[in-house]
Amino acid sequence: MSSHRMISNLSLTGFMGVGKSTLGRFLANSLRYQFVDTDEMIEQRSGKPITKIFEDDGEDSFRSLEQEIVDEMVSWKRRVISTGGGLITKNNNLERLKAYSFVVCLWASPETIYHRIKRQSHRPLLQTTDPVRRIEDLLEERSVFYKQSDYMVNTDKRPLRVVAQLVTHQFHQALNHCRQTRTGG
């Protein structure tokens, strides 16, 4: 891990439907960190749901709102940040997220993702006639970003508690590493 990083937060990334928010709330509770969800922040600030933002203003406008939030992260401490599935794929968001946080990517197969999201309608990018194909295409396109996370964990067959343990262990190791680097230990 590079020494210029100031890890003060834990970020969760990964495709839609992999369970970032659920795990994020769980981890925030156990670490006693504040939980923040970039999608929720955007909805609160714009006063409308994400589907409506995409409909009225387009995806680019949504991405700019994500960008504004990443700009604010420099002052964040002790937060578990659940990020929208496309956030790290735009501009240099991944690099910036890594500057302020330990970045964990939750992974799942297209089948698992489809199974989890098929009854939901709040994800504009998946409102197509062939959502499985769309999931496969987007996963392929985005995996180059997801794979640059600090830690990737497959959530397909693991219960939440186990994923949380694995992530917590990795996060504490990263925090220790940063502390040692800073104190020269």
Residues making contact with ligand S3P (CB under 6 A): 16, 20, 39, 50, 84-86, 123-125
**C-beta of 50 vs 103, nearer to ligand S3P:** 50
Neighbours of 6 (CB within 10 A): 12
**C-beta of 5 vs 116, nearer to ligand S3P:** 116
- Classified as helix, coil or strand, 134 is helix
Q: From 184, 166, 14, select the one nearest 86 (Cα to Cα).
A: 14
**C-beta of 14 vs 31, nearer to ligand S3P:** 14
Q: List the structure tokens of 147.
A: 């794979």
- Give me the least distance between CB of 119 and ligand S3P, in Å please: 14
- Give me the least distance between CB of 90 and ligand S3P, in Å please: 9
Instruction: State the chain's maximal CA–CA distance in angstroms.
Output: 56
- Give me the least distance between CB of 183 and ligand S3P, in Å please: 37
- Give me the least distance between CB of 103 and ligand S3P, in Å please: 14
**C-beta of 14 vs 178, nearer to ligand S3P:** 14
- Chain length of the chain: 185
Q: How far apart are CA 10 and CA 65, in angstroms?
A: 20
